[in-house]
Structure 1
């Protein structure tokens, strides 16, 4: 199970990459800082971002996705995981319309917050916005779908939103992470290639 912002995307996030396409980096960065400091809930962040990104188009979302600073080797790692008879999923608080594009890269499942359709003409429904607890709930749902348990899982993440998930699975990898998860992870990786991070656990059995 892979986080997106700061994990698969190194040093950036879906919101940051989208804001760059809109020329709204400073305004969105202010929201990001408030969220990281705990002054905004995920739902409030989404609501404010939707109000800010009124001109967002599907073409800009696609460009933000393609231009993001992805770790190298993502497709190769997911191909190897599936070749081993295992499954790979992305669980992120970022908009589902961004996260779900990773299904084309080989993820078995991709979960993100349900924002309004682009271009935004509706307000955010708070019930569709994921939080840290939702990552655990979705992980459990995926385990049920595939006949697995938490003991079969490996989590990759970088920040506080991943801490709860790290706390319920036996193996975790902190990827370019802050102390919130680096201090509780089974393994830690700093670099730009997911194949190297995956190698820390690929031979676990």
Structure 2
């Protein structure tokens, strides 16, 4: 039986950080993005509004900044190894994140079969954010369903890996889930839980239960 492994990025594949934080570090606006992150976690901002405000902070953003942010991010150990193992087993792996697609899609070069993020304006930003292109928690389930259809699978064949409230709907929709360095929103509903910095160990929880 084939499976589809669905990975969140911020806080899951990236330990203790997020694309927005790493990009803001390159631009010297860490305190400002920290306030937006706090407001988003408190549900004072929805995803489109967060994106709009972040775009205003990142008006000087270039591809060079994005590359530096991606390369310098605190990625979990073993990501490429896990995805290579998944694909060697004839299974699929994908990343679904609320973060900008221009950051998330770089993970395709690491071996993901698919990578989906929010649709932000082209860098450097000249156009406004289109709210319709910004993903939310429900979009993760919708994209998972689309990937299942593409790969000839169903929700019953899915494994979800995540860390926070934005993963809770997906965790509730699939039979197997792994809370990775997670908060209570997903830790309390996950099938497995992992704390650490090596994705191979989190993945082994799923293999050990197979």
Q: Same fold (TM over 0.5)?
A: yes
Deviation readout 1:122-180 (Å, 9 max, x if unpaired): 11000000000000000000000001000100000000000000001000000000000
The equivalent residue for 2:206 is: 201
Q: 2:191 aligns with which of 178, 186, 189?
A: 186
Q: 2:62 aligns with which of 26, 39, 57?
A: 57
The equivalent residue for 2:3 is: none
TM-score by length of 1: 0.99
TM-score by length of 2: 0.97
- Distance (whole Å) between structure 2 residues aligned to residue 201 and residue 54 of structure 1: 42
Q: 1:118 aligns with which of 110, 119, 123?
A: 123
The equivalent residue for 1:17 is: 22
Instruction: Could you tell me which runs of 5 or more consecutive residues in structure 2 were left unpaired when the two chains were aligned.
Output: 1-5
The equivalent residue for 2:156 is: 151
After superposing on structure 2, the runs of 4+ consecutive aligned residues of structure 1 that deviate more than 6 Å are none
Instruction: Could you tell me which runs of 5 or more consecutive residues in structure 1 were left unpaired when the two chains were aligned.
Output: none
Number of residue-to-residue matches in the alignment: 205
Matches within 5 A, 1:81-100: 81-100=86-105
1:174 aligns with 2:151: no
Q: CA deviation at 1:204?
A: 3.9
Q: CA deviation at 1:62?
A: 0.4
- Distance (whole Å) between structure 2 residues aligned to residue 202 and residue 25 of structure 1: 38
**What SS does structure 1 have at the residue aligned with 2:124?**
coil
Q: CA deviation at 1:34?
A: 0.4
1:40 aligns with 2:75: no
Deviation readout 1:67-89 (Å, 9 max, x if unpaired): 00000000000000000000000
Q: 1:29 aligns with which of 29, 34, 42?
A: 34
The equivalent residue for 1:137 is: 142
Q: CA deviation at 1:203?
A: 4.0
Deviation readout 1:79-118 (Å, 9 max, x if unpaired): 0000000000000000000000000000000000000011
Aligned alpha-carbon RMSD (Å): 0.6
- Distance (whole Å) between structure 2 residues aligned to residue 193 and residue 172 of structure 1: 17
- Distance (whole Å) between structure 1 residues aligned to residue 148 and residue 58 of structure 2: 35
